[in-house]
């Protein structure tokens, strides 16, 4: 089974390119499943029914999120009614669900969303949260893909080795910078510390450079507008043995909007 995971979608510039790109990816790569992190999809923060619908209409199948997911009130409606998940370790009281199971090409695939704690706001332990549900999920699905939305490389690596041999993939999101450390853990689990970003790479993490620099120089509150130039979609392509759930390979991917002009 071929699975594509797309890194954090940052606002309208990324959504527009994804709308044009996904049909091309489906024709060239023929993935069975496309997952994307969409916690920055609506104006650079959170997600709304409109932005989620736009991404699904483009051809993406499942959306994960992260620490910004609840910044817009409308996100609750998205989480309750669409194939969009929020971090599992927000707890049972939070709107939505922390994982979902979907039938893909005749096989059940589980996608789990986790949120890190190092250098981030307090939240329940992601390690204990995933351990609590994993055995029940494995009774239903052999293929299990985990999005660990976290700041610290060490925490993501720890999650990779914690789940190594137990899930098909542990994929890092949040920092918007793709890392060059893709690997197979225990000859079973595809891992990468960060899948990157979908948005402007002529920017600082998708935002206008001058505004970010001004913030560092003055330490004053500054509005961060979305950058528009050099739009790219970054992520990974994972090949999974559907009979065992084991990943056979992981490869970084990147598409540039200018390449299609």
| Given 68, 149, 174, 176, the catalytic residue | 68
In this prediction, residue 72 carries a pLDDT of 86
Alpha-carbon torsion (14, 105, 85, 240), positive or negative:
negative
Number of domains within the chain: 1
Q: Bridge-partner residues for 184, per DSSP?
A: 190
- Grade residue 195 by pLDDT with cuts at 50, 70 and 90: very high
φ/ψ region of 213 (left if φ > 0, alpha if ψ in -120 to 50, else beta) reads: alpha
**C-alpha 150 chain-centroid distance:** 11
The separation between the first and the last C-alpha atoms of the chain, rounded to the nearest angstrom, is 31
Give the global pTM: 0.94
Distance between CA atoms of residues 251 and 44, nearest Å: 27
Q: For 120-141, write each residue's pLDDT tens digit.
A: 999 999 999 999 999 999 999 9
Domain carrying residue 153: 2-260
**C-alpha 143 chain-centroid distance:** 17
Q: What percent helix, strand, coil does the chain show, rounded to 5?
A: 30, 30, 40
Q: What are the φ/ψ torsions at residue 152 (nearest 5 degrees)?
A: -85, 130
Question: Is 68 marked active-site?
Answer: yes
H helix runs in the chain, sequence order:
11-28, 49-58, 75-81, 126-140, 153-162, 209-218
Tokens matching residue 44? 């650079």
Query: What CATH number does the domain containing 80 carry?
Result: 3.60.21.10
What is the pLDDT averaged over residues 100-116?
Answer: 98
64 and 85 in contact (C-beta within 8 Å)? yes
Q: For 161-177, write each residue's pLDDT tens digit.
A: 999 999 999 999 999 99
State how beta strands 197-200 and 189-192 pair: unpaired
Q: Bridge-partner residues for 198, per DSSP?
A: 9, 233
In this prediction, residue 174 carries a pLDDT of 95
């Amino acid at each position: 089974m071929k699975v594509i995971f797309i890194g954090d979608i940052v606002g309208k510039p990324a959504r527009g390119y994804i709308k044009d790109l996904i049909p091309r990816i489906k024709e060239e790569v023929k993935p069975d499943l496309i997952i994307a992190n969409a916690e920055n999809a609506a104006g650079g923060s959170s997600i709304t029914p409109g932005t989620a619908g736009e991404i699904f209409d483009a051809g993406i199948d499942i959306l994960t999120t992260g620490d910004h997911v609840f910044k817009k009130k409308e996100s609750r409606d998205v989480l309750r009614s669409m194939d969009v998940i929020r971090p599992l370790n927000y707890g049972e009281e939070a709107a939505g669900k922390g994982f979902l199971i979907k039938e893909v090409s005749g096989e059940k695939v589980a996608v789990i969303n986790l949120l890190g704690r190092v250098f981030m706001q307090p939240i329940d332990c992601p390690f204990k949260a995933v351990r609590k549900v994993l055995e029940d999920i494995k009774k239903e699905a052999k293929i299990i893909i985990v999005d660990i939305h976290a700041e610290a490389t060490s925490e993501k690596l720890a999650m990779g080795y914690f789940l190594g041999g137990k899930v098909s993939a542990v994929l890092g999101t949040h920092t918007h910078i793709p890392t060059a450390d893709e690997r197979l853990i225990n000859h079973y689990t595809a891992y990468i510390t960060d899948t990157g970003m979908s948005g402007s790479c002529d920017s600082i993490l998708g935002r206008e450079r001058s505004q970010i620099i001004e913030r560092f120089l003055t330490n004053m509150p500054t509005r961060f507008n979305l950058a528009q130039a050099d739009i790219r979609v970054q992520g990974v392509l994972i090949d999974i043995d559907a009979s065992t759930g084991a990943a056979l390979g992981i490869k970084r991917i990147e598409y540039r909007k200018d390449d299609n002009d």
